[in-house]
Chains A and B, each alone.
Chain A
Amino acid sequence: MLQQYGIIAVFLVGGAATAVAALAANWLLRPKKPPEGDKLATYECGLETQGPTWIQFKVSYFLYALVFLLFDVETVFLYPWAVQFQALGLFAFAEMIIFIGILVLGLWYAWKEGALKWL
């Protein structure tokens, strides 16, 4: 069983190695002269940034993430049901319709409250 996950490990190691190799090649090839003048500016063209980088976000981001989290959880329940759909029969279908119906109520509420609107 674990051998099947070997390919995922190869992917992970390969991905990390690509990033490290790119940075290492960059380090090997670049001139070793210390930067000066405009080189040290954040952007060599365009506007200077103003104020600190850690600014406050809008609450809309949080509401989107909230709705996403709860429907993410719904997916977790939907997936095994979909896998076993042929074997489970009508009763399970009815159960799942009730389940989705309850959560659609939540979606309706989120819609009504304007949580899905980008202000």
Chain B
Amino acid sequence: MITLNHYLAVGGLLFCIGLFGALAKRNAIAVLMGIELMLNAVNINLVAFNHFLAPDQVTGQIFAIFVIVVAAAEVAVGLALVLNIYRRRLDSNIDDLDWLKW
């Protein structure tokens, strides 16, 4: 029997993998990929709670759809930022993006 805890464990594992990707990668696009993994993990949690604790409502699913919408907007703007930085610095390595620091 698969319980809510199983789904939460999958979500937690996915979140930690995404966190590692977001923290440890050098390429800005790879960092965005890690963030996408984390958002997916959160969505699994929302939908699992919805399914197991309040199956007669769709609140968790609505929440997940809004998360997906915001993630889409975030990817669009984030990748455009990376492209713009690449055009100026010919680089998408986030270790070098320190020219606000002096």
A and B touch in the complex (CB under 8 A): yes
* Closest-CB distance, A94 to chain B (whole angstroms): 20
User: How many A-B Cβ pairs are below 8 Å?
Assistant: 20
Chain A contacts with B in 23-76, Cβ cutoff 8 A: 59, 62, 66, 69-70, 72-73, 76
Complex: A62 Cα to B75 Cα, angstroms: 12
Task: Name the segment of B14-22, B32-40, B76-84 touching the other chain.
Answer: B76-84
Contact of A70 (CB < 8 Å), options: B76, B79, B83: B76
* Closest-CB distance, B53 to chain A (whole angstroms): 19
* Closest-CB distance, B43 to chain A (whole angstroms): 14
Does B65 sit at the interface, judged by CB under 8 A?
yes
Contacts of B80 in A (CB 8 A): 62, 66
Chain A interface mostly helix, strand, loop or mixed?
helix
Chain B interface mostly helix, strand, loop or mixed?
helix
Chain A contacts with B in 63-110, Cβ cutoff 8 A: 66, 69-70, 72-73, 76
**Interface bin, chain B:** 10 to 19
Complex: A76 Cα to B68 Cα, angstroms: 10
* Closest-CB distance, B92 to chain A (whole angstroms): 12
Complex: A84 Cα to B55 Cα, angstroms: 20
Contact of A69 (CB < 8 Å), options: B65, B75, B83: B75
Complex: A71 Cα to B1 Cα, angstroms: 40
Complex: A62 Cα to B80 Cα, angstroms: 9
Do A66 and B65 touch across chains, with their CB atoms under 8 A apart? no
Does B9 sit at the interface, judged by CB under 8 A?
no
Contact of A76 (CB < 8 Å), options: B69, B75, B76: B69
Do A62 and B69 touch across chains, with their CB atoms under 8 A apart? no
**Centre residue among B65, B75, B76, B79 by max chain A CB count within 10 A:** B76
- Could you list 20 examples of A-B contacts with CB < 8 Å? A59-B83, A62-B79, A62-B80, A62-B83, A66-B76, A66-B80, A69-B72, A69-B75, A69-B76, A70-B72, A70-B73, A70-B76, A72-B72, A73-B68, A73-B69, A73-B72, A73-B73, A76-B65, A76-B68, A76-B69
Closest 7 CB pairs of A and B: A73-B72, A73-B69, A66-B76, A69-B72, A69-B76, A62-B83, A70-B76
